[in-house]
Amino acid sequence: MTEMKIGGLAKAAQTSIPTIRYYEDIGLLPPPPRQSGGQRVYGEADVRRLTFIRRCRDFGFPIEKVRMLASLLQTGERSCMEARNLAFAHLVEIREKLSELQALERNIAAFVESCDKSQSGNTRTECAMLEELSSGGAH
């Protein structure tokens, strides 16, 4: 087994040392054995687990879902249906957020357009967008 310190693990799994410590603190990574001087010692299994966690996070899975997916992987009960259900729930959340962002985009585009119209050939100093935002009205 190849042993490495925390910096080696960070490099191998393409993440940062503070991230590794955080994942240990919240229990996503098991506490590693320590050398006599107290330094953490990691192995290939830690690289694989941390890479798995990082990839889950790259796909936007929240920590609790990463924990569930890691549990499925670690216990050997790799229930594809359970993993699929977690991924599907995440997909639904992403689609909801995307819909909210699209509505926000339309509202901000309307603000920009109203600013353009109010400033076109106009020397007054009022800003239609600021007036709209301060009035509390929905755009």
Whether 69 and 112 map to the same domain: the answer is no
Measured between alpha carbons, how far is 51 from 21 in angstroms, rounded to an integer? 14
25: CATH: 1.10.1660.10
Residues in the chain where the model's pLDDT stays below 70: 1, 76-78, 119-125, 137-139
3 lies in the same domain as 61? yes
Which of 50, 78, 106 is where one domain is finished? 78
Reduce the DSSP state of residue 42 to 3 states and report it: strand
pLDDT of 78: 65
Residues 102, 74 share a domain: no
Residue 13 token pair: 């799994």
DSSP string computed for 87-130: HHHHHHHHHHHHHHHHHHHHHHHHHHHHHHHHHTT------HHH
Q: What does the pLDDT read at residue 104?
A: 95
Nearest to 14 by CA among 62, 59, 61, 48: 48
Measured CA to CA, the distance from residue 139 to residue 71 in angstroms comes to: 45
Residue 1 confidence (pLDDT): 57
pLDDT at 123: 58
